[in-house]
Amino acid sequence: MRKFLAIAFAYLLPLAIVLQSCSKGGSGGGTASGSSLTITLNKTSLRADNFDELVISVKDQNGADVTSTSTIRINGTPSASNKFYTSTPGTVTVKATQGSATSADATVTATDPGPSPFTQKLLTEDYTGTWCGYCPRVGASLKTYSSSNPNCIVVGVHGPAGSSDPYNYTYVTQMASTFGVTSFPTVIVNRDFKWSEVASVLNNELTKRAPVGIGLETTITGSTINVKAKVKFDVSTQIPLKLIVMLVEDNLVASQTNYYAPTYGPDPITNYVHKNTLRTAGTDIFGDDIPASQQITGTTWEKNLTINAAGYSLANCKVIATVVYGTNGLGRRGSLNSQEVTAGQNKNFD
């Protein structure tokens, strides 16, 4: 009987060691092993700037990568991706499950990045037309807001194609389709959403932390505007980004239909002043790619370009630049920051 018990104990001992090793837990960055699943993180500390990327990998007890078939929970909430970003400082807890298998918790500290060295600017694109009797209302609202908020940059996008407006922008149809503009007037804020004409909405955009700053150096040669656009990063990211450089002409005077007469003036307003009318672009109007290798905190990326301003009043021309999310930008869209300068002048990072 004693011999039988000794033999049984000898067989059970290795099994107990295996079970114990499979249930060993862990926390903190790096690797966390649990019951059959192991989590590996690419870093132990995360910058809470919504760009620093936490990458989560999951392996089973045989060492096979099962990340794509596992459910990853971030602070208890299932994640649609094994990549995580946050703008909230604090402790981030990661856990993985696959069927009945689970991992131990892994934790990462998300640290406050501090204030941005750049001022957040706001881009508002007003889809308008000289024929549009409702447009003076929105034009007046934007003028009032931007007058007291100089970090609000206004661009007038005239259209639609085929209308009687003398300032129709060449690619207004493509822009309207991309941003869901189905009627005039419509204001698109930061290339992201339609403005409800509520000032607090714009205020909220101006309070966001600026991840990039933009500097512009411009000179004029004949009817050509030479531009050096500089983008400086306060984040590091592989998310696709693009630079857009536009040329607008200010203080254009043309007759404007006005359905609100006598409010805003008569109908029509014969001497209506059209502000920052979009004329052309030095880049693709939807942006030129910024090399991902240059998107590193502290790095400045530069792009030189020329804009043909023939036929425009150079004294009234301005260059406006904005950095936007590119395609496959993890579902993100919109402008990260913008900048404006009078043609022939320079504007440094601010």
Q: Give the pLDDT score at 331.
A: 83
Whose structure tokens read 């630049």?
321
pLDDT digits (tens, 9 = 90+) for 182-234: 999 999 999 999 999 999 999 999 999 999 999 999 999 999 999 999 999 99
Q: Give the rounded percent of residues in the chain with a pLDDT score beyond 70.
A: 90
Peptide bond into 185 cis (omega under 30): yes
pLDDT digits (tens, 9 = 90+) for 64-81: 999 999 999 999 999 999
Single-letter amino acid code for the residue at 54: L
Is the pLDDT at 14 greater than 90, yes or no? no
pLDDT digits (tens, 9 = 90+) for 125-162: 999 999 999 999 999 999 999 999 999 999 999 999 99
Tell me the chain's radius of gyration from C-alpha atoms.
Answer: 28
Confirm whether pTM is higher than 0.85: yes
Give me the phi and psi of 206, to 5 degrees please: -75, -15
Give me the phi and psi of 6, to 5 degrees please: -65, -40
Is the pLDDT at 173 greater than 70, yes or no? yes
Q: Which domains does the chain have, with CATH numbers?
A: 24-111 (2.60.40.1080), 122-347 (2.60.40.10)
Half-sphere exposure of 83 (CA within 13 A, CB side): 10
The whole-number average pLDDT for the span 8-26 is 35
Q: Give the pLDDT score at 34.
A: 65
Q: Give the pLDDT score at 32.
A: 72
- Maximum separation of any 2 CA atoms in the chain, in Å: 112
Q: Give the rounded percent of residues in the chain with a pLDDT score beyond 90.
A: 88
Average pLDDT, the chain: 91
Single-letter amino acid code for the residue at 250: D
